[in-house]
Chains A and B, each alone.
Chain A
């Protein structure tokens, strides 16, 4: 009995001790962030990992002492990476000679992605107070009670006790002692329950109520707006840096050396803003910059030309070209204008945060807390905004309002902040779009670049195709016709002397002509399938489906026919996809849907195979992709490992009205 209470008290003290250790650990983790700021990001993971034994110990003690079981909530540690067959370690598209770096990265994400890590740290911080209080309370009460109990004897020179006379002190002391002793086991359990709150795995919550979702969203938006203001300040710094470097480099003549790299690096801030605008408005702002200059080519005499100067090496020319490139790009100047103006405009989305703070802390908060604080201190708080002054120097600017109106206005202001914040952010995003979106000229320049590229690819592909046809004709039909001519000549010579032999030769020639025809047929099929010419895309795809060993279902109607090259590209796209489904995906069924929405032809092929198709690996798919690019078409492969594979082909085109003369049904 006595043992139970004593133990409970002692255990409470241990918990309190661990809480203090936790607080110190937390401070240590915070201190360990310092190297992070000088770039040593990866050291922090170790520190965080080293702190785990403490919460682990507390969990175990909670189970043993407080009868509150808390299982470890951590995710399982990642498996060490295995090298591939060739001994290299692969991560996405990167190969590594040794595995330690990958292991390190995996451990890092394992630790940092685990919500339990951050809950541990929150626990260390909060438990520093809660745990200490819960743990020490029984022992402290016992000690304090003991002090009162012994007060009449004035053991350590106490002359008063809790404001009561010394004669009453033993009674109160006894009560307090009893409280301490009796409460110890309960507080020990309370300690365990409290720890479970943060140290156990977060229990999955049911769907949040709508107001809560709304509140959460708006709070996030307000915080986001505040972050935007910081962004704006950063823009100003960057703008001034640009200004300084520009002026200094012009005076020192180093502009081609310093300015282009700075401008390029500086673009990361507007680019960040562009990405944010996409989050906010849902529409992407395309990259507005002019394409980079191509590498210079030497003149016939081996020198490089920049303007009217000649150089021995390409370096100065490249720098000159890049200087011209950033200077002539209007996006450069629009970016700079954005940086300068954004400093002011970005205060707009910051407004809700300010309003909410003034409302809540400046007006609502003091109304509740001032009287409490005043009664606690025993003296009136400086009239107005004691707390508000601490938290926010502003409310005084607005001046004190007549008593009761303060909380009313405070609430109104806060609500207003919550209501307007998304609109302000939207407005801010639109303002960003104004200066950050590409100009018409930039869009056209980009288009020219893309067209040049696809034209080059198309003519390459066409040349290769012609070469293939030439080779096939040369080695196939042409050679066979020569052989046939020879044999016919021989037959002619034999026909009178040896009619039987001549007949045999003629039979051979007939056989050879069949083979030649078959070869020509295959060749024609590869150039432009006859069924496509005769029937159009949908029926040609049906013919493909019938020829395929897979169970292929074709659905779709096209009102009219696309232009012949588009039709042909689409046909060969489907053909390649079917071949892949049969060869690599081990599919049994494929469904193909064709459809034209007035602007683009869209073909979706879905198979039930094992997936994992990568257009980058198969030359067939890559070729189709290139062919599509010529028509501004897209060829998208969605093929998760395990399937199903879905290929979406889109080709912008118009449909010509069907030729009436092909239809005999109406005749």
Chain B
């Protein structure tokens, strides 16, 4: 699997390169600035790009902008964005095109190599991976949402994991319950939130994220 890596700190770039190579990824380019990334993305057309938000030369959100513009040029280009901090604002922008194959994680998550590599694979496979911190912020800012309030404690847990982009099997494993039970919970969640049920993992997570971001169709009419 071919990867473009963009990270300006040498140590981290090197560490990530080793980590990904150790898990069988091929690093086609490891760059350290926005323009280079832009160039690498269009030239190599990687299977997945792992991108730091803040890059030289301006040290603002160059990485994010490069990722977004590359995805405009190549819709569905898998990009996993890494950052020292997560912002709902950025998550929204990354999710805006609704095509999936996107990831947004705190840099801390690379500590757990297994999970991180799994996330890279999921993104490369067209999945959506959101940092738990993004999801908890999303839920906190939707605290006054009525349908969300109707969820049971367990359903809420399932919703959080679902929103992070996990499959039923992964959620079941995490919560120590059967996959069938998770299926029932997700069905109930979708009914309570008024979303069309979907068996496809990817479409399901996008629907949930769209709901939480307040961009789902039924919420555009405005609610209390």
Contacts and interface: CB of A to CB of B under 8 A. Distances in A.
Contacts of A233: none
A534 interface: yes
Contacts, number: 80
A661 B58 contact: yes
Contacts of B112: 510
Nearest to A543: B89
Contacts of A93: none
Given A524-B85, A531-B85, A664 B140 contact: no
Contacts of B84: 521, 524, 530
B60 A546 contact: no
B85 A549 contact: no
A525 interface: yes
A667 B54 CA distance: 18
A546 B89 contact: yes
B85 A662 contact: no
B144 A549 contact: yes
B89 A531 contact: yes
A542 B65 contact: no
Nearest to B111: A510
Interface in A584-622: 588
Contact of A548 (B58, B106, B107, B141): B141
A525 B34 CA distance: 24
B218 interface: no
B137 A547 contact: yes
B38 interface: yes
A475 interface: no
Contacts of A525: 85
B85 A546 contact: no
Interface in A639-659: 659
B143 interface: yes
A661 B57 contact: yes
A163 B111 CA distance: 127
A659 B59 CA distance: 12
A85 interface: no
A466 interface: no
A84 interface: no
Interface in B106-156: 106-108, 111-112, 137, 140-141, 143-144
Given A662-B61, A664-B38, A667-B69, A521 B144 contact: no
Contacts of A663: 65
B61 A535 contact: yes
Interface in A514-568: 514, 517-518, 521, 524-525, 530-531, 533-535, 539, 542-543, 546-549, 551
B58 A662 contact: yes
Given A514-B111, A659-B58, A549 B140 contact: yes
Interface string A502-521: 00000000100110011001
Contacts of A542: 89
A549 B111 contact: no
Nearest to A518: B108
Q: How big is the A interface, by class?
A: 20 to 34
A301 interface: no
A549 B138 CA distance: 9
Interface string B23-59: 0000000000011001000000000000001100111
Contact of B38 (A517, A534, A667): A667
Contact of A546 (B58, B108, B141, B143): B141
Contact of A514 (B59, B64, B108): B108
Interface in B54-108: 54, 57-62, 64-66, 68-69, 83-85, 87-90, 92, 106-108
Given A543-B89, A546-B141, A534 B54 contact: yes
Contacts of B68: 664
A530 B85 contact: yes
Contacts of B140: 547, 549
Contacts of A292: none
A665 interface: yes
Nearest to A550: B144
Contacts of A547: 88, 137, 140-141
Residue of B60, B84, B92, B140 with most partner-chain A CB within 10 A: B60
A661 B64 CA distance: 13
Nearest to A663: B65
B88 A543 contact: yes
Contacts of A510: 111-112
Nearest to B89: A543
B72 to A, nearest CB: 9
A530 B89 contact: no
A533 B53 CA distance: 12
A664 B144 CA distance: 37
Contacts of A534: 53-54, 60-61, 64
B87 to A, nearest CB: 5
A549 B108 contact: no
Given A534-B54, A535-B60, A661-B58, A517 B89 contact: no
Contacts of B69: 664-665, 667
Contacts of B106: 517
Contact of A530 (B34, B54, B137): B54
Contacts of B85: 521, 524-525, 530-531
Nearest to A548: B141
Nearest to B142: A549
A633 B150 CA distance: 46
B60 A662 contact: yes
A227 B123 CA distance: 84
Contacts of B60: 533-535, 659, 662
Contact of B87 (A517, A531, A667): A531
Given A517-B108, A533-B60, A549-B144, A539 B54 contact: no
A106 B34 CA distance: 71
Contacts of A667: 35, 38, 69
A549 B143 contact: yes
Q: Which has the most chain A C-beta neighbours within 10 Å: B59, B65, B112? A: B65
Nearest to B69: A664
A91 to B, nearest CB: 39
Contacts of B141: 546-549
Contacts of B35: 667
A47 B90 CA distance: 74
Interface of A: 510, 513-514, 517-518, 521, 524-525, 530-531, 533-535, 539, 542-543, 546-549, 551, 588, 659, 661-665, 667
30 contacts: A510-B112, A514-B111, A517-B108, A530-B87, A531-B87, A531-B90, A533-B59, A534-B60, A534-B61, A534-B64, A535-B60, A543-B88, A543-B89, A546-B89, A546-B137, A546-B141, A547-B140, A547-B141, A548-B141, A549-B140, A659-B58, A661-B58, A662-B58, A662-B62, A664-B34, A664-B38, A664-B62, A664-B66, A664-B68, A665-B69
The 8 closest A-B pairs by CB, nearest first: A546-B88, A534-B61, A543-B89, A664-B65, A664-B69, A534-B60, A549-B143, A530-B85
Given A530-B87, A534-B53, 6 more contacts: A513-B111, A514-B111, A535-B60, A548-B141, A663-B65, A664-B65
